[in-house]
Structure 1
Amino acid sequence: MATIARLTTTAALDLGKLEYRFDQRGGPTVVMFHGGHMHAGLALGEETFVDAGYSVLVPSRPGYGRTPLSTGTTTSGFADVVRSLCDHLGITRVAAVVGISAGGRTAMATAARHPDFVERVILQSAVGPLPWPDTRTRLAARLAFGPATERLTWSAVRAIMRTAPDVGLRMLFGDLTALPARQVMTALSAEERKTLIELFSRMRSGRGFRNDLAAGREGVDDVTQPTLVIASRNDGSVPFAHAERLASTIQHASLIESNADSHFIWLGHDWPSISGKICDFLAA
């Protein structure tokens, strides 16, 4: 697992301005919708597709990075924006849409609204049609990531990661795992620690995360493509019940249970095996 900051660009589409990154490799295209606090300039969980030769298109969802909240705003609206971006780039069909965490709703909306454009759906630690997040987390998020506090919150996180990374990781893992945070940290390799410190030091919420909290639950019943749902019971951010509901609601869905210690399924010891199953799923 490696998180590396990447250069992005913007497109002025009829439906609005959009930030994106398109890493072309000659193979079919996979569109990745990152979760909360992420933007197109961060590469996370892409190695499976990169190693298999897929081209990877990563848009910044509304309110994140340089994509204004007015571009798309809703999951269904942004699904149309992404389809417009693909037309702009000359992409006529995508091998899969990949929805991570809060980005799962956008992936499902894109598949539902454009069934002839999207071949398959992959949902990783994704938010499903259940209420999310819980009331305590929702209230805390509104305080920490409000217009007047978001910049201060992430400035504080960066300062902690620079001066006391163990404290910072333990604090953040408190919301990402159902296990004791110290136990999860102990299991991290030096490379994984470095990657996570870099990731948390580069995250921003902008106006995007508050928009995620207000997102609806549309799209799940209308997904007709083959769908792979991957999640861990140790996820402290998106409960495993979301994965179970997604797998039982989407017509052609199958569920893979990860043994990862947290929301970050790419850190699980079984990730190489799961990665292989993703490649098999895409090639089927």
Structure 2
Amino acid sequence: MVSTSPAVYAERDTAVARLPSGTVEYRLEGDGARTVLVFHGGHMRAGLALGEEVFTDAGLTVLAPSRPGYGRTPLTTGTTATGFADATAELCQALGIERLAAVVGISAGGRTALAMAARHPHLVERVVLQSAVGFLPWPDRRTRLGGQVVFNARVEAGTWAIMRSLLRVAPSLALRLLLRDLSALPARQVLAGLSATEVATLTGLFTVMRSGRGFVADMFPVPDCASQVGQPALVIATRQDRSVPFAHAESLVTVMPHAELVDSRADSHLIWFGTDYPRVAARIHDFLTD
């Protein structure tokens, strides 16, 4: 039974930088001597943190920009994964960050993380990819067509307003609808495997998501730069991911010379809610602190 009590997700404070490449919204959080750069996934933005505890527990400061079309970063800043990688390098320079302990790419942010590592190797020491989109065709035709209809800039606010209402009045149904596109397993099974705390966290997060102009832009093809990423890389994915098939992770590890594949046992795209996430988090921690 999913609780019907209202879920609260605290969005974190962000700032805006005016750079030669354009405006970038970002969050800089923590007091570690070294910094990790996190490129969020679809429907997210700089103020929404997910799974960042592994980085702060490793003593790292987190820099999280909103990618183009999300939050207060306009689609015109960088526009493409390559262009925004260059814009983010400008942001690092403006913030006085000369070296990044790692760049992290989550889901649709994976290609921007790879572009960052390929184009700015002097800045990026390591790469961590989490359920990341690679350079295979993505998304599938159904998702592409559906995404262009319900998440385009003219209607996405209404789409998320309907979802927020459904999360309030029928949370179990709403979560099943959302999880259906994130897992190859039955949504009821995935939902049943979540703890009450995880359900509350997911409900709160889904309540504050927005797509802006970013999600439709995420679906455009991006030039493949994976073979140019020479840094040590950790590629984390689950075989139950319906949103980003496991083949993306496999293809990246095949061409990246120093990449390690971590096979998550999570039931869905959301690897942070897998029963084996403590194992995965420990590997991330060791990778970043070796």
TM-score range relative to shorter protein: over 0.9
**Who is 2:74 aligned against?**
68
Matched length: 283
Superposition pairs of residues 1-284 of structure 1, within 5 angstroms: 4-284=10-290
**Distance between the aligned counterparts of 2:238 and 2:82, measured in 1?**
27
Q: Is the 8 A contact 2:137 2:221 kept in 1?
A: no
Q: How far apart are residue 42 of structure 1 and its match? A: 0.2
Q: How many Å separate the matches in 1 of 2:278 and 2:223?
A: 31
Unaligned runs of 5+ in 1: none
The 1:63/1:166 distance shift into structure 2, 3 A limit, reads: same
Structure 2 segments unaligned to the other structure (5+ residues):
1-7
Q: Distance in 2 between matches of 1:18 and 1:215?
A: 22
158-167 or 53-62: bigger deviation: 158-167
TM-score w.r.t. length of structure 2: 0.96
The 4+ residue runs of structure 1 with deviation greater than 4 A are none
User: TM-score scaled by structure 1?
Assistant: 0.98
Asked if the contact 1:75–1:215 (Cα under 8 Å) also holds between the matched residues in 2, the reply is no
Please give the secondary structure, in 1, of the residue aligned with 2:149: helix
| Separation (CA, whole Å) in 2 of partners of 1:3 and 1:55 | 21
* Secondary structure of the structure 2 residue equivalent to 1:281: helix
Native 8 Å contact 1:61 1:78 kept in 2: yes
Q: Which moved more, 1:164-173 or 1:214-223?
A: 214-223
- Secondary structure (helix, strand or coil) at the match of 1:5 reads coil
CA distance in 2, matches of 1:228, 1:179: 25
Q: Does structure 1 conserve the Cα–Cα contact (< 8 Å) formed by 2:30 and 2:56?
A: no
How big is the alpha-carbon RMSD for the aligned residues of Structure 1 and Structure 2?
A: 1.1
Percent of paired sites with the same residue: 58
**How far apart, in 2, do the equivalents of 1:278 and 1:236 lie?**
23
Report if aligned partners of 1:62, 1:71 keep a CA contact under 8 Å in 2: yes
The secondary structure found in structure 1 opposite 2:278 is helix
